[in-house]
Structure 1
Amino acid sequence: MKYLLMLLIAGQLITFTSCDSGFEDVNSNPNDPIVVPSELLLGGTLRSTADRISDYFLAGEAGSCWVQHLGKPVYNDNELYIPRQTVIEALWDVLYASVIKDANIMQDLAAEEGNSNMQGVALVIKANAYQILTDAFGNIPMTEALTADSNGNITPVYDDSETVVYPAIIDMLTQADAFLNGDGEINTSQDLLYGGDWSKWKKFANSLKFRVMMRSGNTSGLQSLVSAGNLFTSNDDEAKLTYLTAAPNANPWFEGLVDGGRVSEWCLGQELVMYMQSYSDPRLAAYAQEVGGNGSGNGYVGKPAGIQDIGNSFYGDSNNVSLIGEQYLLSDAPSYFMSYAQLNLLMAEAAEKGFISGDPATYFAAGIAASAESNGVAAPSITYNGGTAGLQQIAEQSWVALYMQGFEAWAEWRRTGFPVLPLAIDAEEPSIPTRFNYPVSQQSLNGVNYTDAVSAQGADKLTTSLWWQ
């Protein structure tokens, strides 16, 4: 029995040893790679960003409605300055966890691959996300953000927006410009902005840097950007994600309003309609539908901001106001990261203030023309006045051109102060909001650093001003 037992044990040992030989090679799963190619993270980060900046419950209700591009004939608490806290939380969570974190990983993987272009793309995506966050909230975690995996830190400090965050964003874009040199491929199917064209990413990096520098007041390098010649030169260069024609890959406004049956819950704001009518602006026919529907001949009517008892008012009937223009509700309508029109109007301002060479009137006209072209209409004829009056004209035309780009329209309105907008009729705040409050979860998850941020920046209120306003 002992002899038989020994043979049995020996046989099992031989079996286990022989089965283990080359086990990793034979049993590896080719569909579950240990290292993910950097390119596979690109599409997701772009889509996540686009969906946030086209989120009608935040960029629409807060951004576009607060600058009075849009209004709501029903459910208009947002116009009283009561934003939805869940979507504020989603903006914070998605940009950190699904955009910046993946862009960090993408950058590291691209470095290991020796793919210079992808490193540059990752930096542009990250810089853009950080600008959205800091322009929405003010001081935000950056230097210690998303370091839990490496050092276990789940309570990052909030960095000062003026002295840390904005300079870091500018540095990222400077690095991106250097990396975007044609060395390395960008997957065409994953690149939802430019289809793999690194030269257009380079233009986006520098155009975005121009915008960041104008907002920060760090204007000494603007002429260098112009002289280098790597800015947008037409609407073909602008950064926009074009959606597909059906859910779940269609434009969020289409999915929410058209597929969701909520088109009549949104209309144009009175201030925008009246301003555009004063210039006989052809873009109004693209921005809005005629009262009662296009072809009615009833013209355009906007809704005043923030009527509490909206259901019992004239404007509570969607048949009395102009709904959002049909082209902006198409399934494949683009989501804009940055437009050529915005760049030209920023350059007009920079030229008027002496930051760059060139004729401000030429840039001004080019910005309006680019906006009109993207809307398929002729440009309105607006004479540029120059000086202080010209700067107001530039700011107001930027406001018009940023229609349906809620976050940027809100940011530029806060920066320039133009146009002068009335307070909502039944406002719950003493002024139009100038920031989002921090996500409620931050008070419990990162309470000490949240408290320090509020102490440094000011009360965690919608009306606390940011440093660049």
Structure 2
Amino acid sequence: MMKKLLIPTYLLFAIVLLASCRKDLERINKNPNEPVTVQPDYLLSNGIKANVDTYWGPDAAMDGTLLYVQYWSKIQYTDADRYIAGATGTQNVWSNFYAQGIEDFTTLAQLGDSLHNPNYKAVAVIMRSWIFQQLTDLYGDVPYKQAGQIAQYLTPVYDSQKDVYTGLLDELKQAAATITPGSNNIDGDILLGGDVTRWKQFANGLRIRIALRIADREPTIAKTVFDEVTAGGAGALLPKDAVVKLNYLASPNQNPVGRNRETRNDYRISKSIVDKLKALNDPRLSIYATMPKDTNVIIGVTNGLPSDSAARLGFSKTSDAGAVFTATTAPAVLFSYAEQLFILAEAAQRGLVAGDPLTLYNQAIAASFVQYGLSEAAAAVYAVQPGVAYDALNFKKSIGEQKWLALFGQGIEGFTEWRRLDYPQLKAAYAGALGGSMPVRFKYPSSEQALNGTNYKAAVARQGADLLTTKLWFDKY
């Protein structure tokens, strides 16, 4: 027979007292200025700013895609311009987009559900989809379905690029459908000012962008997307001359390009784009490039020069990118009416959407001119030149070259469209490190090999060697 364990009264009193003290201490140590539940408006503002900074900043753009697609070049520290990619930059792009982007917008989508505000959820899904699009455009196969759920998936599986793109198309379609204009207001929207109709148009713009991205591989899916979007009528897409852009402010909320220019001066406009703009008598030249202090002519720098050769060209004798991109308050463009029209022009040429490709192409050029303060009349004169006039028999050349010019400053998008269309036909960096080849992707960061090795190896086995020269799935030709 077991004996009952008797606890002295004084010990019971001590236990109760300690439990009470613990609760009091927890209550006292709570900081009223640090809420345990994040506010959706703060999460939205920070998420937009942090991820647009990554997209427009030094690692993804200035030392990466802006050089690869020959918008910019370097006059100092030219390794990046010679395709010698720094491990830190590659890691930063990956880590920032996943940790500051996918995680934050996944949380915001969950908050939208808990707050019964479908607009917060829709905006979160649209921004998260935009980030995933940047990631897969750069790296190829990436963690997608298991991403943003670190408590459940510490080492997420990589999804194929096809599955990422088609998954994003479904998510964006659902987000656009659940937006409710006129109710469920959202705060903290520093991108589109709480205009949920504009968010819906942005979502649809991303849908047709991705549909065209996969058109060489999955034309049937692409056609379905264009049918669905255009069925929504004129209001489904951006109105004339609208631009989805983040308007930067003074320091510390300045443009990351402007922040970079505060302490260094190692970038120049590429000779490739200067030569093309000059050959076409393109009035955007004086907007895209600055006039050097010591000359009366805009001079670009050849991509991939050795550092000593580049430095000898002289800072005051070569052209930097224009203030419209480098000023402290210069905006970062995510999607524009001009890009939308180029998408529709190509889709019309491919039979994916109704419309006249020539008319849409000319309207796209005009929209790009207007975006930079030039007139439609000037665009009409420009568009009839032999080097600009639309060629339906080689639409990839016409659209590829003019879209490249229109996307100047949008490094990732310009780089992706150049890979897809194969125009303009650029020459590899002068002293490039890839044996005369050009980069067609970013390499995975070394952290993935160390921390997610099994899934990393599976992705490489499926996609191809983890090299700058390995073509991605969408890049068929």
Q: TM-score, normalised by structure 2?
A: 0.88
CA contact (8 A) 2:118 2:184 kept: yes
CA contact (8 A) 2:141 2:160 kept: yes
- Distance in 2, matches of 1:315 and 1:173, equals 49
CA contact (8 A) 1:352 1:391 kept: no
- Distance in 2, matches of 1:110 and 1:58, equals 30
In structure 1, stretches of 5+ residues that fail to align are 1-5
Deviation, structure 1 residue 21: 10
* 1:255 equivalenced with 2:259 (yes/no): yes
* 1:428 equivalenced with 2:426 (yes/no): no
2:132 to 130, 133, 142: 130
Residue deviations 1:212-241 (CA, integer Å, cap 9, x gap) = 1110123212133123131111333x2211
Question: Could you say which residue in structure 1 is the equivalent of 2:3?
Answer: none
- How well do the aligned residues superpose, as a CA RMSD in angstroms? 2.5
Residue deviations 1:356-401 (CA, integer Å, cap 9, x gap) = 1112222212222222222222344213334123331111111001
Residue deviations 1:392-414 (CA, integer Å, cap 9, x gap) = 11111110011111111101101
Question: Could you say which residue in structure 2 is the equivalent of 1:191?
Answer: 189
- Distance in 1, matches of 2:305 and 2:81, equals 8
- 1:20–1:154 Cα change, 3 Å: closer
Give the counterpart letter for 1:140 in structure 2. Answer: V
Question: Could you say which residue in structure 2 is the equivalent of 1:3?
Answer: none
- Distance in 1, matches of 2:44 and 2:87, equals 28
Give the counterpart letter for 2:355 in structure 1. Answer: G
In structure 2, stretches of 5+ residues that fail to align are 1-7, 216-220
- Distance in 2, matches of 1:120 and 1:389, equals 39
Q: After TM superposition, which residue ranges in structure 1, 4 or more long, deviate above 3 angstroms?
A: 6-34, 312-316
Give the counterpart letter for 1:161 in structure 2. Answer: Q
Deviation, structure 1 residue 198: 0.6
- Distance in 2, matches of 1:16 and 1:444, equals 45
Matches within 5 A, 1:124-273: 124-149=126-151, 151=152, 153-162=153-162, 164-182=163-181, 183-187=183-187, 190-217=188-215, 218-220=221-223, 221-228=225-232, 229=234, 230-236=236-242, 238-246=243-251, 248-257=252-261, 259-260=262-263, 262-263=264-265, 265-273=266-274
- Distance in 1, matches of 2:308 and 2:276, equals 26
**Residue aligned with 1:178, SS:** helix
CA contact (8 A) 2:396 2:422 kept: no
- 1:269–1:185 Cα change, 3 Å: same
**Residue aligned with 1:437, SS:** coil
Question: Could you say which residue in structure 1 is the equivalent of 2:320?
Answer: 323
1:63 to 62, 65, 74: 65
Between the two proteins, the alignment pairs up a number of residues equal to 450
Residue deviations 1:444-469 (CA, integer Å, cap 9, x gap) = 11111111111111000000000111
Matches within 5 A, 1:305-320: 305-308=303-306, 310-312=307-309, 316-320=313-317
* 1:117 equivalenced with 2:119 (yes/no): yes
Residue deviations 1:81-139 (CA, integer Å, cap 9, x gap) = 11222111011111111111111111011111110111110110110011111111111
CA contact (8 A) 1:283 1:372 kept: yes
Identity of aligned residues (%): 32
CA contact (8 A) 2:69 2:418 kept: yes
Q: TM-score, normalised by structure 1?
A: 0.90
CA contact (8 A) 1:270 1:304 kept: yes
